[in-house]
Amino acid sequence: MTLTTLDVAPTDAALASHATVTVLVDRCAGCQECVVRCPTEALSMDASTWTAIADDTKCIGCRQCVRTCPFAAIYIDGPMVVAERVSRPAHHLQQLEGNLEETRLGFSSWADAVAEASRCLSCPDPTCVRGCPVHNDIPGFIAAVRDGDLDEAHRVLRRTSFLPDVCSRVCDQAVQCEGACTWSLAGGEAVAIGAIERFITDNAPVPGVQIVSERGRGLEVAVVGAGPAGIAASWELAQAGTSVTVFEKDDQPGGLIRWGIPDFTLPRSVSSRAWEALQEAGVNLQCGTEVAPGELERLSASYDAVVLAHGAGVPMRLPVKGEDLDGVWDATHFLLESRAAVAEHRPLAALTRASEGAGAGAAGSQANGHAPTVLVLGAGNTAMDVARLARRLGANAICVDWMDRRFAPVRPDELEEAAREGVDIRFSTTLGRLDGKDGHVVTAVLDSTRQEAANRLPEITARATASEPVDLVVMAMGYRLDAGYASILPGVPVARRATGMADRTWQASGLIAGGAPAFARHQPIGQLSLGREAARVRASLAVGERLWVAGDALVGPSTVVEAMAQGRKAAQAILDEQPKRDGRLAAARPLRVVVGYESRSGHTERAARAAAASFEANSAQVKVLPLSSIGVTELAAADLVVVGTWVEGLVVAAVQSAKATRHWLAGLPPLGGKHFAIFCTYGVAPKGALAGLQSEIEHRGGEVIASAAFGPRSSAEDSPEKLALSALDKLGVKPAAVASA
């Protein structure tokens, strides 16, 4: 669908003023980082001094130049020249009880959508894309809306996202794409990226699965779990022609987006769309089929690859006196039961005990004409969903959370909506104990807490500060991984935390230098984005032979968009690797080899390049890199990793591989059976250096299939070429000379 006419004012009164740019020429090194990233071409280079110069009349005060300058040579004074963010009208429900009507509205007109899209700078190096866990081309789909072309907007979105209608509704954009918007980083209000994305999906059909390649033909893949990670993995594989079978323990697919998010935030018609499209595309969905950890080996024997996307669905419970009483539920149970009750216009049985003659809390209150009370432990997004559903069941809702409100990980709009609907939200409060009558909970005793900083746990400051009569208690404090799966998956959960120096492209973008903007609730937006990226990349590395993990099963409880990003990455890794359950390499795919070296004198590097040349002569696809440049991305993309190092230490004392090599190994994730070949170079005697290197790799889950030590007098039988041929033989690849014979 293409818009042909727009009735929108092109500018705002604020666009009449400009900011002032100061360039400190004694600091400017002429690197041009600022010039290439300025979205308005307000910066250029003075050819005589090779320093940056600015045209103030073009400067809009976005301060990208300030963030990207590595020498702090630029300062900006003055306003941000941008129109105000287009607001969306609040939607207050007149009748709350029994009403699952959506409460957050999208843009109501093309004029509003285009006006907001016009605030986007189309940055040359868009930080919003880095802030988005799935790396949507945000400037691309915004430009399409600005041009009135929803078909093009969808084309842009489906390159990276399979759930744009879901994510636009449930993403916490303030700490993701919008928090990383250049206007946010400059201290202002971000472009409403989520609202624009939603406008696209609300006003044009979201496309179904479309075959885009034949890369997956002949592959059979099992996906365990039908939530966001499973959806993304299945979709990516299906559009490459892969035969996909999905095993889901529940009786319906969708996972979190089906049972965990109420209709007033995510309507069922939206949450069900993805699986309708996947089944139409031929994905074999088997609901009511749980795959236990002990069944993985059997499953792996029947499929070329397995993706574990089973989520983190074990509810956390607070170990307090009375937590085993009747009427103490977890959030999953409550969300499923209450959502069905509201949809079917019937009361929740647990809240109608009075009318049935039970003599406990709800009994007394309801019998006297008062609404029952639901106590919700937690004040995060799930807790808000529970409390708001309780209100729709006609109950009073109290949320308590032991954290200080300043540090609680909940969206402000969630809190505002819940409070407006009558939820009593109490921070710095925790549950001390639960008292019961006839085995059913009737009273909650609350304690007060204090939290001094976000990185410090709250502490109880006063006990039994309040006593509340309750009819139902719901523990909505989050979820954890299934212990059975966690015990067999090495390195899980993976920390969403970046370590070491950030990649040059991240540093140069200015996102990390953006700090913790107010729009992002003072969260370190660059570090959060780097952490999510580390987890996304980690999903591409198999955790076992032909076994990948993605989503909450990999990182613990996270978000829909992160799970989608990881599921897609795992599927891409499968398509790249083309695994076969009989152990054969896929037809017409070359062996992928990464040769890494740690070299001081050059001898080890020469040996590495000689081995690489031998692999290349046998039709392998080879990369030669210093060990320090080999990370998860390189490991995931290799069938064989060759590690070359040198021996250090005294002959009469301990001899081992180079310290830098051992440091590199210590930073590796679990290697999931990845094949390695290793060698060391030495001057006098290697002693146990090679055995020690092999032991460290195997301790991390790698398999060493060939090894060698090269000294000053090594023979042709003990050479890099021989090492390469030995590794090829172990992998079942015939050397070129043998193959031609």
Establish how many alpha carbons lie within 13 A of residue 93's alpha carbon, considering only the half-sphere containing its beta carbon: 19
pLDDT for position 582? 83
Superfamily name and number for 110-203:
Alpha-helical ferredoxin (1.10.1060.10)
Name the CATH architecture for the domain at 18-77: 2-Layer Sandwich (3.30)
pLDDT for position 684? 74
User: Per the structure block, which two tokens stand in for 21?
Assistant: 């740019």
Mean pLDDT on 662-685: 91
Beta-sheet pairing, 429-437 with 424-426 = unpaired
One-letter amino acid identity for 155?
A: R
Residues of the chain with CATH 3.50.50.60: 220-313+481-492+543-577, 317-479
pLDDT for position 490? 87
Residues of the chain with CATH 1.10.1060.10: 110-203
pLDDT for position 353? 61
- According to CATH, what is the number of the domain 317-479? 3.50.50.60
pLDDT confidence bin for 541, thresholds 50/70/90: very high
In degrees to the nearest 10, what's the CA dihedral of 128, 130, 132, 137?
A: 70
Beta-sheet pairing, 621-626 with 43-46 = unpaired
pLDDT confidence bin for 707, thresholds 50/70/90: very high
Establish how many alpha carbons lie within 13 A of residue 94's alpha carbon, considering only the half-sphere containing its beta carbon: 0
- Residues 73 and 219: their CA atoms lie apart, in Å, by 54
Superfamily name and number for 592-740:
Flavodoxin domain (3.40.50.360)
pLDDT for position 579? 94
Mean pLDDT on 270-281: 97
Q: What is the pLDDT of residues 360-415, one digit of tens each?
A: 443 334 445 579 999 999 988 899 999 999 999 999 999 999 999 988 888 898 99
* CA distance readout (Å), 94 to 88, 100, 105, 154, 420: 18, 12, 15, 35, 12
Superfamily name and number for 220-313+481-492+543-577:
FAD/NAD(P)-binding domain (3.50.50.60)
Q: What is the pLDDT of residues 207-262, one digit of tens each?
A: 999 999 999 999 999 999 999 999 999 999 999 999 999 999 999 999 989 988 99
Contacts of 554 (CB under 8 A, 6+ apart): 229, 492, 493, 494, 535, 538, 539, 566
3-state secondary structure of 488: coil
Share of the chain above pLDDT 90, in %: 78
Q: What is the pLDDT of residues 93-133, one digit of tens each?
A: 888 998 999 999 999 899 999 999 999 999 999 999 999 99
245-266 in b/e form (b: 16+ CB < 10 A) is bbbbbbeebbbbbbbbbbbbbb
Residues of the chain with CATH 3.40.50.360: 592-740
Residues of the chain with CATH 3.30.70.20: 18-77
pLDDT confidence bin for 737, thresholds 50/70/90: low
